[in-house]
Amino acid sequence: MENEVLKNIIIEKLQTVHDPEIPVNVWDLGLIYGIEFLKPTEVLITMTLTAPGCPIADEIVQNIHDVVKEIDGIDEVTVNLVFEPAWSIDKMSEIARLELGFDV
């Protein structure tokens, strides 16, 4: 499968993962900084959290790993959690801002 097609499928899957404390998915929150193919069947997801001390960080990272690993054509998934650059509201999609009641 072509990387661009696979990347779009990955994004769709990421849109099913939510931070339980915020009713918006990790993609629209802007928590995903990168999707990189290390090999045709191996993907690296670089992400952050809304707050470094998030008590459910491990759960979110595991959920991201699991939903991406379900995709046909993906054999290995690595989720790299980073805090630089720091997350901010500016990283949220317009959809997320509307859902959370922020001015767009």
**Does 62 map to a domain?**
yes
**Does 31 map to a domain?**
yes
**Does 72 map to a domain?**
yes
Alpha helices in the chain (DSSP H): 3-14, 26-29, 57-69, 94-99
Q: What is the pLDDT of residues 9-27, one digit of tens each?
A: 999 999 999 988 888 999 9
**Does 54 map to a domain?**
yes
Q: How confident is the model at residue 104 (pLDDT cuts 50, 70, 90)?
A: low
Rounded-to-integer distance, Cα 76 and Cα 8, Å: 17
Rounded-to-integer distance, Cα 1 and Cα 87, Å: 32
Mean model confidence pLDDT for the chain: 92
Rounded-to-integer distance, Cα 104 and Cα 93, Å: 9
Supply the range of the domain harboring residue 68.
3-82
Residue 60 has pLDDT above 80, yes or no: yes
Q: Please tell me the predicted confidence (pLDDT) of residue 30.
A: 96
CATH number where 25 lies: 3.30.300.130
**Does 88 map to a domain?**
no
Q: Please tell me the predicted confidence (pLDDT) of residue 32.
A: 98
Q: How many domains does the chain have?
A: 1
Pairing of the two strands 76-81 and 42-47: parallel
C-beta of residue 56 within 8 angstroms of C-beta of residue 19: yes
